[in-house]
Amino acid sequence: MTALLTIIVLVFILVAIWQMVKIFDLAQAKSECDQVATDKDNKINAYLMMGFLAFIYIITIISIVKWGDLPLLSNSASAHGPTIDNLMAISLVIIFFVQTVTQFLLHYFAFKYKGEKGKKALFFADNNKLEAIWTIIPVIVLAGLIIYGLNTWVNIMGVDESDDPLVIELYAQQFNWTARYAGQDNTLGLANVRLIDIDKANVLGLDEADPNAQDDIITKELHLPVGKPVLFKMRSQDVLHSAYMPHFRAQMNCVPGMITQFGFTPTVTSEEMRQNPDMVEKVANINKIRVEKSKDLIAKGEDALDRYEFDYLLICNKICGKSHYNMQMKIVVETQEEFDAWIKEQKEFKNSLTN
């Protein structure tokens, strides 16, 4: 770190010396050494502006065709997912349209009105009509997007308790996730980090005297029944984390000292998503890359990479430390019958404690 800071300081010193030399040269320059651009200079720069505009459009088209994989947003697996995707698609279309038009005008005007000897620029000190147009149109567009976004957010966050959602706690700590199911009473027991007792396997700090905590179930894998509303309660043991489930279009910060929440209804099982044509193609491409990389590893005497199989994942979307990249938990979306069979195999909190 010290070496890096030293290099940065030296670079800044060199830049400062260079600027001082330029200032000195300008101060000593003779009157005939004119720094004003000529018509030839302006003409070259004008054509360069149009060339750069062409470059922007060409590279954009190539990127969309080669890597765009349109539609950009797809394969959401929650009830509210299509609404989020639609909001994002509308925003992208508007941004792309505005960027395309404004970049064209910026570069074209620089070309059309390039400096020429004897040519005087026509300008307006102010124009109320133009100012009203470029103020009112963005206001209307942004207001529409904000209102649509707020309405979407309220609908997502307004979890209806009458739907009897499955209550699950997501517990974040560097660098792993733990899930706690509310048990038969569907009510999470009281918990506090000060009650954590590793010797008794009370890893989440549940209050052992709380009746609601006795049937809670603690797991390292998240199982969700398809079509069932789920309400997540989130805690963090140490630093700020962010529970991000990309396929469910769900994300919420996990803040030390407080409980946050987010709810959604999963609509596609893990097995159904694996059979999705887009996902089949994606998995095939990943495994093709792994096969090629495995050849090099085997040649070095190392083990080959395992074949990739799609799974929903809960990942951390806040940089929380050196192993942040690997902070993830497998999510299994399954039928209600499969979920019931799995949950029966798990130990309740009262039976998981050790003496």
DSSP characters over 3-52: HHHHHHHHHHHHHHHHHHHHHHHHHH--TTS--SPPHHHHHHHHHHHHHH
Place of tokens 């299994």: 332
- What pLDDT is recorded for position 178? 93
Decide if 169 contacts 188 (C-beta within 8 A): yes
Alpha carbon distance 128, 186 (integer Å): 62
pTM reported for the whole predicted model: 0.76
Do 202 and 249 lie in a common domain? yes
Do 185 and 202 lie in a common domain? yes
Does residue 17 sit within a domain?
no
Residue type, 134: W
- Give 113-156 as a 3 state SS string: CCCCCCCCCCCCCCCHHHHHHHHHHHHHHHHHHHHHHHHHHHHH
- Residue 217 CB burial class (10 angstroms; 0-12, 13-18, ≥19): buried
CATH number assigned to the domain comprising residue 266: 2.60.40.420
Does residue 8 sit within a domain?
no
Q: What are phi and psi of 209, to 5 degrees?
A: -90, -5
Does residue 228 sit within a domain?
yes
Do 342 and 224 lie in a common domain? yes
Residue type, 297: L
CA dihedral over 8, 9, 12, 18, signed as positive or negative:
negative
Decide if 345 contacts 89 (C-beta within 8 A): no
Do 139 and 82 lie in a common domain? yes
pLDDT in tens, the chain (355 residues): 577 778 887 888 888 888 778 777 766 655 455 567 787 888 888 899 999 999 989 988 888 888 776 555 778 899 999 999 988 888 888 988 998 999 999 999 888 888 878 777 777 778 888 888 888 998 999 999 999 989 888 888 877 777 789 999 999 998 899 999 998 888 888 888 888 888 788 888 888 888 988 889 999 999 999 999 999 999 999 899 999 999 999 999 999 989 999 999 999 999 999 999 889 988 999 999 999 999 888 888 888 888 999 999 999 999 988 899 899 999 999 999 999 999 999 988 888 777 6
- What pLDDT is recorded for position 1? 58
Alpha carbon distance 246, 243 (integer Å): 10
Alpha carbon distance 348, 182 (integer Å): 10
Do 98 and 212 lie in a common domain? no
Do 96 and 229 lie in a common domain? no
Do 140 and 253 lie in a common domain? no
Do 53 and 76 lie in a common domain? yes
Decide if 239 contacts 320 (C-beta within 8 A): yes
- What pLDDT is recorded for position 123? 75
The CA R_g of the chain, rounded to the nearest whole Å, is 30
- Residue 264 CB burial class (10 angstroms; 0-12, 13-18, ≥19): buried
CA distances, 347 to each of 176, 215, 230, 343, 352 (Å): 20, 9, 21, 9, 6
Does residue 2 sit within a domain?
no
Tens-digit pLDDT profile for residues 129-166: 888 888 899 899 999 999 998 988 888 887 777 778 99
Do 61 and 198 lie in a common domain? no
Do 85 and 145 lie in a common domain? yes
Q: What total number of domains does the chain contain?
A: 2
- What pLDDT is recorded for position 130? 85
Do 220 and 166 lie in a common domain? yes
Do 215 and 323 lie in a common domain? yes
Peptide bond before residue 124 is cis, with ω within 30 degrees of 0? no
Would you state the structure tokens that stand for residue 241, as one six-digit string?
């984390």
Find the domain containing 173 and state its range.
161-272+307-352
Residue type, 159: V
CA dihedral over 95, 96, 100, 103, signed as positive or negative:
positive
Does residue 5 sit within a domain?
no
